[in-house]
């Protein structure tokens, strides 16, 4: 029996139990049967969770790109590996076969080598969502360079701090990027960022927008001529299982962003295994994840997971609202997408629009739809289920983190019965536990607690680049011997998990521990409300009280605000209880969000507390202008 794909609930429990009883055997078999290795491991895993030291597949030798590309060529050389859908629907989509991908990746790998990039060097990639982004990622992995993709919406100062932290020698960027009706001057941002980065010796520039850019002599080179003269084959570097594969920055609630470092073999096994099970990929499927490759979701589920499984993966350059709100649905119809994976923030923003935008298109190709990045509220879940999944495509609500490398808790489609707002059950190999305030493991069901993982899994990050102490303190100290996720969760009567949000999103009101996510869920059900964010602020009597920042749907804009405030509180009262009523409600035109769509509650918390400075690191903020509006109109 292969452990690679789960086909029934009975099989899930069998695999799950096996993976807990004999984790080494379980992962040994998966790694052995599904990948090509230069040399197999001496030992499956070695760890000391107190010290945050974890190693998988010790002394194995492998190259992940051989597994993503070369081994598919005999059987799938002419199969499409990547479909590139440009920002502008009038520009033709590109279909890149596995043969072509091999050629483009090996050429790029040769260019990087020619430019002096060696195994272990860090390469920063600052590109829009174009094929060259995936190709550069793979080319780095081919030669053993450590890639660090910086989301192409980040500001110059965010680029500077990452490049310096990595001491990176070479940057790959483009003359610009298209996003909706805008052209973004990526090269200009890189020029500004690199003024403070003496470590960077070279930048390679992809031509995308044909914008006029400054090319600095002896530093900046157009990529295409270099590719044209590079040979189209390349010997892959032999990598140790624990050699770093990539570093990706994630922001914490305090301090500078953390460079999460992932290594080669464990990440490969885990991203491939989870992709196969969560998306149930079959040979002719067309899989589409709308995330940006600048985030972990794009790394694991646009590039590595799909390609390791020989899949066809869509890369979309644009945004859901351009040229109109039907763009996602049009792409599904056009490319006959079978698996569609997106974020609750995108679902909510599209659900605000008339659902006829969805109904205009034929979505009958869809088999599975997924959600990632934050708790999906009940209303959004039903909208997604009704209008996109047409109640026949299961929703995989996948919980995981940059740090986990791959999906940890999620339904397996057609196997695990779904339940709105629940990520449901852990994948085999994942051992979640809920911990109480006294740091004891809670064994019962129908409980809430801090979500920890008590056994290592292959995809987990190994360290924070340059700061192992911080890694240990952030993830392995609060609950010694366990990995602390920072999230709270509820476990229901059958053992399903519902992620309730970051534990620091909990507010204690009159001694009651209130998670803000369920209150937001209740508010979002009000017909006039589009989105909400709840934070606590100090209160003389209650200790803390709740402050709500709420955006309205277009249909709610004309409503009398005092009546709305009353209705919203009555709604909370009847859904959660009077204890959760909001003391203050401020209607706002938008919420401060990170570029990956998460609400930056830390800023709202400060504003609610009356503190208008010291917002901490705001370089990841998508819409900084909204902060002034919210400050000025604070109640």
Measured from the CB atom, is 263 or 421 closer to ligand PRX?
A: 421
DSSP 157-203: HHHHHHHHHHT-SEEEEES-EEETTEEE-HHHHHHHHHTT-TT--EE
Nearest to ligand PRX of 86, 597 (CB atom): 597
The nearest distance, CB 496 to ligand PRX, in angstroms, is 12
Between 463 and 485, name the residue whose CB sits nearer to ligand PRX: 485
Q: CA-CA-CA-CA torsion for 300, 301, 307, 309, nearest 10 degrees?
A: 100
- Only one residue has tokens 């969805």, namely 358
CA torsion sign for 290, 294, 300, 306 is positive
Alpha-carbon 622 to chain mean position: 16
Measured from the CB atom, is 96 or 380 closer to ligand PRX? Answer: 380
- Report residue 217 as tokens: 């002599």
- C-beta of 174: minimal distance to ligand PRX in Å? 24
End-to-end CA distance of the chain: 62
- Residue 26 or 341 having the CB closest to ligand PRX: 341
Give min distance, CB of 178 to ligand PRX, in A.
25
For residue 54, list its beta bridge partners.
47
Shortest Å distance, C-beta 421 to ligand PRX: 8
Residues that bind ligand PRX (CB under 6 A): 250, 296-297, 372-375, 397-402, 423, 485-487, 499, 502, 596
The whole-angstrom separation of Cα 474 and Cα 484 is 8
Q: Report the distance separating Cα 341 and Cα 314, nearest Å.
A: 11
User: Rounded to an integer, what distance in angstroms lies between the CA atom of residue 588 and that of residue 604?
Assistant: 12
Nearer of residues 132 and 397 to ligand PRX, judged by Cβ: 397
Q: What is the DSSP letter of 418?
A: P
Between 127 and 499, name the residue whose CB sits nearer to ligand PRX: 499
| C-alpha–C-alpha distance, residues 78 and 100, integer Å | 8
Whether cis (ω within 30° of 0) applies to the bond prior to 526 is no
CB of 146 to ligand PRX, least distance (A): 19
Q: How far is the CB of 375 from ligand PRX (least distance, A)?
A: 4
Q: What's the closest the beta carbon of residue 401 comes to ligand PRX, in angstroms?
A: 4
How many of the other CB atoms lie within 10 Å of CB of 201? 14
Q: Would you say 98 or 496 has its CB closer to ligand PRX?
A: 496
Strands 244-250 and 258-263: antiparallel
Q: How far is the CB of 372 from ligand PRX (least distance, A)?
A: 5
């Amino acid at each position: 029996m292969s452990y690679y794909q789960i086909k029934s609930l009975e099989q899930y429990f069998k695999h799950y139990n096996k993976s807990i009883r004999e984790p080494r055997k379980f992962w040994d078999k998966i790694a052995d049967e599904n990948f090509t290795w230069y040399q197999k491991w001496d030992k499956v895993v070695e760890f000391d969770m107190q010290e945050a030291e974890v190693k998988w597949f010790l002394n194995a030798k492998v190259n992940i790109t051989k597994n993503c590309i070369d081994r598919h060529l005999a059987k799938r050389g002419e199969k499409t590996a990547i479909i590139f859908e440009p920002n502008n629907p009038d520009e033709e989509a590109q279909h890149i076969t596995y043969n072509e991908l091999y050629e483009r990746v090996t050429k790029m790998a040769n260019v990087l080598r020619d430019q002096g990039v060696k195994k272990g060097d860090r390469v920063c990639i600052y590109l829009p969502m174009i094929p060259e982004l995936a190709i550069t990622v793979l080319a780095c992995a081919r030669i053993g360079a450590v890639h660090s993709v910086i989301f192409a919406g980040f500001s110059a100062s965010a680029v500077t701090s990452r490049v310096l932290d990595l001491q990176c020698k070479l940057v790959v960027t483009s003359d610009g990027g298209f996003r909706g009706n805008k052209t973004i001057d990526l090269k200009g941002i890189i020029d500004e960022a690199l003024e403070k980065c003496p470590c960077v010796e070279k930048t390679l520039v992809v031509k995308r927008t044909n914008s006029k850019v400054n090319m600095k002599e002896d530093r900046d080179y157009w990529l295409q001529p270099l590719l044209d003269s590079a040979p189209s084959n390349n010997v892959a570097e032999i990598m140790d299982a624990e050699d770093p594969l990539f570093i990706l920055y994630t922001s914490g609630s305090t301090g500078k962003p953390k460079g999460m470092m992932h290594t080669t073999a464990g990440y490969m096994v885990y991203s491939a295994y989870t992709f196969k099970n969560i998306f149930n990929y079959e040979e002719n499927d067309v899989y589409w994840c709308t995330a940006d490759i600048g985030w972990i979701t794009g790394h694991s589920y646009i590039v590595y997971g799909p390609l390791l499984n020989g899949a066809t993966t869509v890369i979309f350059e644009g945004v859901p609202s351009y040229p109109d709100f039907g763009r996602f649905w049009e792409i599904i119809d056009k490319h006959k997408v079978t698996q569609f994976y997106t974020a609750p923030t995108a679902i909510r923003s599209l659900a605000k629009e008339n659902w006829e935008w969805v109904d205009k298109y034929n979505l009958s190709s869809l088999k599975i739809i997924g959600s990632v990045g934050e708790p999906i509220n009940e209303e959004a879940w039903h909208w997604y289920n009704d209008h996109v999944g047409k109640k026949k495509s299961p929703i995989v609500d996948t919980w995981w983190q940059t740090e986990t490398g791959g999906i940890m808790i999620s339904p397996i489609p057609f196997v695990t019965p779904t339940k709105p707002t629940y990520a449901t059950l852990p994948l085999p190999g994942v051992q979640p536990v809920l911990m109480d305030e006294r740091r004891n493991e809670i064994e019962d069901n129908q409980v809430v607690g801090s979500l920890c993982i008590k056994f290592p899994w292959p995809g987990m990050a190994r360290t924070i680049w340059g700061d192992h102490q911080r890694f240990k303190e952030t993830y392995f100290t609060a609950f010694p011997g366990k990995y602390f996720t920072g999230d709270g969760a509820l476990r229901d009567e059958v053992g399903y998990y519902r992620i309730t949000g970051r534990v620091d999103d909990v507010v204690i009101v009159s001694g009651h521990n209130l998670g803000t996510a369920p209150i937001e869920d209740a508010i979002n059900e009000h017909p006039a409300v589009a989105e909400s964010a709840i934070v606590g602020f100090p209160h003389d009597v209650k200790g803390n009280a709740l402050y709500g920042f709420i955006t309205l749907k277009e249909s709610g804009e004309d409503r009398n605000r005092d009546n709305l405030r009353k209705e919203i509180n009555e709604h909370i009262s009847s859904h959660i209880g009077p204890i959760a009523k909001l003391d203050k409600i401020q209607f706002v035109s938008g919420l401060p969000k990170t570029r990956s769509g998460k609400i930056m509650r830390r800023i709202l918390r400060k504003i609610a507390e009356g503190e208008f400075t010291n917002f901490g690191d705001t370089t990841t903020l998508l819409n900084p202008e909204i902060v002034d509006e919210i400050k000025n109109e604070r109640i």
